[in-house]
Amino acid sequence: MTSREIREAFLEFFKSKSHHIVPSAPVVVKNDPTLMFTNAGMNQFKDLFLGEAAVKYSRIADTQRCLRVSGKHNDLEEVGIDTYHHTLFEMLGNWSFGDYFKKEAITWAWELLTEVYKLDKDRLYVTIFEGDDSEGLVRDQEAYGFWKEFIAEDRILLGNKKDNFWEMGDMGPCGPCSEIHYDMRTDAERAQQKGQELVNADHPQVIEVWNLVFMQFNRLKNGSLEPLPAKHVDTGMGFERLVRAIQGKTSNYDTDVFQPLISYISQKSGIQYGVAEQTDIAMRVLSDHIRAVAFAIADGQLPSNNKAGYVIRRILRRAVRYAYTFLNFKQPFFHELVPLLADQFKGVFDELYQQRDFVEKVVMEEEVSFLRTLTTGIQRFENYVEGHQFIDGDFAFELFDTYGFPIDLTELLAREKGVTVDMEAFTKALQVQKERSRAATTIDTGDWVTVNDSDEVDFVGYDVLQAQTEILKYRKV
Ligand code: ATP
Ligand code: MG
Ligand code: MG
Ligand code: MG
């Protein structure tokens, strides 16, 4: 099956189970102080779960473009290094709002995976919530019972609260979840490791594909749990991982989702994919990052110096640096991937296709501007690390301020050289600049202090600072 057919089959399947199919929400979230980018399929239904909006359809399914590059879910550092975490990915989902519950959710998940997609039953594992004494939460025997109908009991693994209990926040709907994992190890390896329990993160070839969340409690302000009057189902399946499993590949990048992009990059750079670790990582980073950047722009978030815009700029600069250093692209190249991607998503997410020229232009302008200082910045960096064990704050700040290196790019460069960055000193240097730019916008006129906010340059400087502070904040979570 092609990836297009796989996506269509998902939607068709749930349509046949009376689900209403809705379009993906934009990946850029406006007007929600708690969220910058859509990071899960359920985001657009938050109000329904909280009971703050009326339920029009009690069964819904869709494919949602998601971005996990900030806040609670930040997978950026993994991307390109591993083969199954992306910045932007599609989350296929089906929902029940006070309609069906565990039995149907589990039965249909199994039916879809094994009968429609014909995945090998012997390679599937599932997890259920083991319970938690401190909260008086019992093991999810219900889910266990339904799974037992389909899968051998030694393939039903217990998971703790961290992995198998989902909560929206400190308050609100929550409940146990059940994950489905797919095992792509070779037969030899499987025979050798028989009896060992493996899930996502234990082995790069055993990956989590689908998460079924059963919302059955409401967490109150005082922390206690009460049963929800109406129970809900919220599922999310990683589309690119599913395609990998169905197409029998050992990397998401070997599927037809990423191959057109990888081939193009390989052809243009004259470097083969699958030959050397470093160039492979660079090709994966490029083919991944263009998706995040292009869809963010198409959904209304231009790269900029603050907040969500700066997150996008950072991702773009990260990609450009990989292209420059490892694939020898010294001229703007990244933008050339936009039309390819637009074609790929035609009829799926038309927002990109309709704006492809604009998106390409924005990406190219960003590239041109960053490439102007990149060469000198990298040269400065190379010279500096020759004589230093770690990057001090002032130098990291110089790279940031003069050469436009986001701090995580400097950290990445440092890691590649086996040195560390003095983040505390960097933050301090930022602070100093903040004070300075504040002072610069303040004109002392004797008894009066006038704030001069018409000076745009200073204002931009301040915003950069804000964005940086935020990034530092996010990284700690
Ligand atoms: P993982 O443990 O692999 O990081 P997760 O538990 O954080 O995944 P969920 O929040 O349960 O992921 O999201 C539902 C599904 O979305 C996952 O089962 C997975 O298939 C997919 N998914 C999650 N994060 C990513 C990502 N960064 N790239 C691609 N697919 C992802
Ligand atoms: Mg994760
Ligand atoms: Mg997980
Ligand atoms: Mg999960």
Domain count within the chain: 2
210 CB within 6 A, ligand 1: yes
For the CA of 91, the nearest ligand: 1
**Is 268 within the bounds of a domain?**
no
**Is 136 within the bounds of a domain?**
yes
- H/E element holding 333? none
Question: Quick one: 65 and 207 in the same domain?
Answer: yes
**Is 15 within the bounds of a domain?**
yes
Question: Quick one: 28 and 110 in the same domain?
Answer: yes
Map residue 88 onto helix, strand or coil: strand
**Is 434 within the bounds of a domain?**
no
**Is 19 within the bounds of a domain?**
yes
Question: Quick one: 322 and 223 in the same domain?
Answer: no
User: Which residue among 218, 237, 252 closes a domain?
Assistant: 252
**Is 238 within the bounds of a domain?**
yes
DSSP state of 154: G
**Is 451 within the bounds of a domain?**
no
User: Which residue among 188, 217, 252 closes a domain?
Assistant: 252
Terminal CA-CA length for the chain: 39
- Output Rg (C-alpha) for the chain, integer angstroms: 24
CB under 8 A, 24+ apart: contacts of 326-331? 326/278, 326/279, 326/281, 326/282, 327/265, 327/269, 327/271, 327/279, 327/282, 327/283, 327/286, 328/269, 328/271, 329/268, 329/269, 330/371, 330/375, 331/371
pLDDT per residue as tens, the chain (477 positions): 999 999 999 999 999 999 999 999 999 998 888 889 999 999 999 889 888 889 999 999 999 999 999 888 899 999 999 999 999 999 999 999 999 999 999 999 999 999 999 999 999 999 999 999 988 899 999 999 999 999 999 999 999 999 999 998 888 889 999 999 999 998 888 888 877 766 666 788 999 999 999 999 999 999 899 998 899 999 999 999 999 999 999 999 999 999 999 999 999 999 999 999 999 999 999 999 999 999 999 999 999 998 999 999 999 999 999 999 999 999 999 999 999 999 999 999 999 999 999 999 999 999 999 999 999 999 999 999 998 999 999 999 999 999 999 999 999 999 999 999 999 999 999 888 888 877 665 444 334 433 333 332 222 333 344 444 444 443 332
Find the domain containing 117 and state its range: 3-252
Question: Quick one: 86 and 176 in the same domain?
Answer: yes
Q: What is the CATH number of the domain that holds 222?
A: 3.30.930.10
Pocket test for ligand 1, best of 89, 126, 200, 242 (most atoms within 8 A of CB): 89
DSSP state of 1: -
CA 241/CA 249 separation, integer angstroms: 10
CB 49 within 8 A of CB 77: no
Residue 238 Cα to ligand 1 middle (Å): 6
Question: Quick one: 247 and 280 in the same domain?
Answer: no
How much of the chain is helix, strand and coil, in % rounded to 5? 50, 20, 30
User: Which residue among 252, 267, 285 closes a domain?
Assistant: 252
Counting from 1 in the atom list of ligand 1, the atom nearest the Cα of 177 is 11
Residue 411 Cα to ligand 3 middle (Å): 26
Protein residue with its CA nearest to atom 24 in ligand 1: 85
75 CB within 6 A, ligand 1: yes
**Is 443 within the bounds of a domain?**
no
